[in-house]
């Protein structure tokens, strides 16, 4: 008993100390539990991440990979309002239509040929703004609008993304509509997309078994 007690007390003290630093602001719900450190304990490593030169694994149905460097990988980004990503595409690969709910984005192509685009909101006539990008080209995607990037060249493509939030979030349309946990009622989607039940069920099966589109962060 005494051993357990000591263990518990030690653990509690650690927990309590962990909270002698302020917890951090993040301006959106479902927020990441990043704790601010005591300024005296902050080091250069809190502003550092390594490994974005490694290509992501594009061996999946979409032939693409997304590696995000946001506040979960660089704690010092908390409140700084900026993050980076690396995008890899196999030939024919794509990052399918998706939305960043909390930031606009710039993309810079390093290698390959990308067809990119976004669609303006319904108030502005659902206009498609699209462009074929080559190395050195930059394109901007406004916050909250549907965007996509597709490798239309014959080689791999690599691009860097920059966003104006340390926690931009990503809403991949396919996974969100057809692979949420639990699933959205099939009949609702049948009517929304003017499809028959079997087609919706088929798409739901496809997306239910797929992983998240962003490379998971293992802490």
Name the binding residues for oxalate. 100
- Tell me the two tokens of residue 74: 């660089």
Site for a second copy in 94-123 (CB under 8 A): 94, 96-97, 99-106, 108, 110, 115, 117, 119-123
Site for a second copy in 62-101 (CB under 8 A): 62, 69, 74, 76-84, 92, 94, 96-97, 99-101
Measured from the CB atom, is 25 or 155 closer to a second copy? 25
Cβ 66 vs Cβ 215: under 8 Å: yes
Residues paired with residue 23 on neighbouring β-strands, in sequence order: 35
Residue among 145, 153, 156, 201 that touches a second copy (CB under 8 A): 145
Residues paired with residue 141 on neighbouring β-strands, in sequence order: 105
> Smallest distance, Å, CB 90 to a second copy?
12
Name the binding residues for Mn(2+). 98, 100
Query: How far is residue 185's CA from residue 81's CA, in Å, rounded to a whole number?
Result: 36
Instruction: Count CB neighbours of 3 within 10 A.
Output: 7
Measured from the CB atom, is 173 or 197 closer to a second copy? 173
Query: How far is residue 132's CA from residue 123's CA, in Å, rounded to a whole number?
Result: 26
Does 3 sit near a second copy (CB under 8 A)? no
Placement of tokens 């079997």 in the chain? 198
Site for a second copy in 16-35 (CB under 8 A): 16-17, 19-31, 33-35
Site for a second copy in 38-67 (CB under 8 A): 38-39, 42-45, 47-54, 61-62
Q: In terms of Cα–Cα distance, which of 150, 184, 65 is closest to 203?
A: 184
Residue among 164, 186, 201, 215 that touches a second copy (CB under 8 A): 164
Cβ 173 vs Cβ 184: under 8 Å: no
- Tell me the two tokens of residue 72: 């979960």
Per-residue string for binding with a second copy, 169-188, x by CB under 8 A?
xxxxxxxxxxxxxxxxx--x
Query: How far is residue 133's CA from residue 45's CA, in Å, rounded to a whole number?
Result: 35
> Smallest distance, Å, CB 57 to a second copy?
16
């Amino acid at each position: 008993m005494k051993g357990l007690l000591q263990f518990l007390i030690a653990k509690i003290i650690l927990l309590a100390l962990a909270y002698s630093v302020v917890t951090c602001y993040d301006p959106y719900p479902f927020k990441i539990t990043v704790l601010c450190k005591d300024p005296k304990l902050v080091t250069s490593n809190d502003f550092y991440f390594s490994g974005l030169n490694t290509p992501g694994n594009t061996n999946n149905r979409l032939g693409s990979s997304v590696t995000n460097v946001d506040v979960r990988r660089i704690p010092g980004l908390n409140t700084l309002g900026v993050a980076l990503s690396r995008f890899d595409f196999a030939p024919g690969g794509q990052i399918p239509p998706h939305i960043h709910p909390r930031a606009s984005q710039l993309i810079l192509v390093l290698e390959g040929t990308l067809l990119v685009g976004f669609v303006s909101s319904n108030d502005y006539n659902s206009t498609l703004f699209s462009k074929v990008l080559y190395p050195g080209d930059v394109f901007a995607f406004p916050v909250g609008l549907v965007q996509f990037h597709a490798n239309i060249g014959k080689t791999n493509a690599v691009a860097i993304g920059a966003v104006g939030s340390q926690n931009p979030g990503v809403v991949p349309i396919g996974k969100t509509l057809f692979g949420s946990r639990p699933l959205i009622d099939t009949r609702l989607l049948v009517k929304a997309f003017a499809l028959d039940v079997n087609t919706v069920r088929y798409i739901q099966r496809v997306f239910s078994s797929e992983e998240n589109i962003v490379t998971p962060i293992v802490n």
